Chains A and B, each alone.
Chain A
Amino acid sequence: MIDAKRRILLKGSLAAGSVGVAAGTGLLAPGQVLAEWNEAAFRAKDIPSALDNLMGADGAEVSERIKIKAPDIAENGAVVPVTVETDLEDVTSIAIIASENQTPLIASFDLTPASIPFVATRIKMAKTADVVAVVKAGGTLYKNAKNVKVTIGGCGG
C-alpha cells in the first residue's frame, strides 16, 4: 500500500496507484509469472506500445476483411461478447483490445495452420470505446474497430 500511496502522490491518480498494487500483489509474485505470457504487452497503457510488444510493430493497416461482432450498446461493461473473424489468409495471431481500458490489450490468440481465424470471448470494458481487433496475417498487421457504448463500466472501482 505504501507503493500505491506514493504513486497517487506522484501522479495524482488513483488509477495509477491501483496498477502499482496489482503489480505488487499478483503480477510480480516471484516464480509464478509464466515465461510465455507477454507481460510488457499486457501491462502497456496505450495501444501502440502493447502492439509493439506483442506483435513487433505498432502500426496496422485498417482492413474491412476483419469482422468484429460486438453489441452496439453494452449495458454491462463487465461482460461484452466479442467475436473476431476474418477471411485474411495466413493468420498467425489475433488480438482483442478495448481502447479505453487502463490496460487496453485484453487477449491475444496464437493460431496454428490448422486454425480457422475465428475467436469469440467475453471482455470487460471500462467505458464506451472502440473494440479493436488486430490480426497478423502473412507477417503484416491489419486492424479494424467497432465502437461499443457502455452503460455501466465493468472494471470495478
Chain B
Amino acid sequence: MPDIKIRAKLSGDETTVKCLMSHPMETGLRKDSKTGELVPAHFIQEVVCKHKDQVVMTASWSGGVSKNPYLSFKFKGGASGDPIEIAWTDNKGESSSASDTIS
C-alpha cells in the first residue's frame, strides 16, 4: 500500500519538511521488459502540504519525478508540535495522506 514518511524539523523560524512517498511513478512511456507492452502511466499529479490545516505548498508533478518520490520544502511560522499533513493524488484518482508533528 502506498505510504508517506514525513520528517519536519524546526530550526529558528524555519521548518524544513522532508518526505518520501511510495509510488511507482510510471510515465506511460516505459515498456515492460518481458512483454514489450507499454506500462500504463501511473504517477502522482498533485501533492498538498498543510501546516495546521493551512496549505503551505502545492506541488504538481508529471511522470518525470523519480519513483518513490522525495520532496523537501521549507516554510516559516511553524512551531514544535504543530501538525504537518501531506496528501497526494495520482492520475488514476488514488490518493494517500499522512501527518506528523514538527520536532
Contact = CB atoms under 8 A, between A and B. Distances in A.
Contacts, number: 155
5 contacts: A4-B38, A42-B62, A108-B59, A110-B58, A114-B76
B9 interface: no
B91 interface: yes
Given A27-B28, A114-B54, A118-B74, A107 B61 contact: yes
A55 to B, nearest CB: 12
Residue among B62, B73, B89 having the largest count of chain A Cβ atoms under 10 Å: B62
A62 interface: no
Nearest to A105: B62
B79 to A, nearest CB: 12
B28 A21 contact: yes
Chain B, interface size: which category? Answer: 35 or more
Interface residues of A, number: 50
A116 B28 contact: no
Given A29-B91, A37-B46, A121-B69, A155 B60 contact: no
A67 interface: no
B65 A106 contact: yes
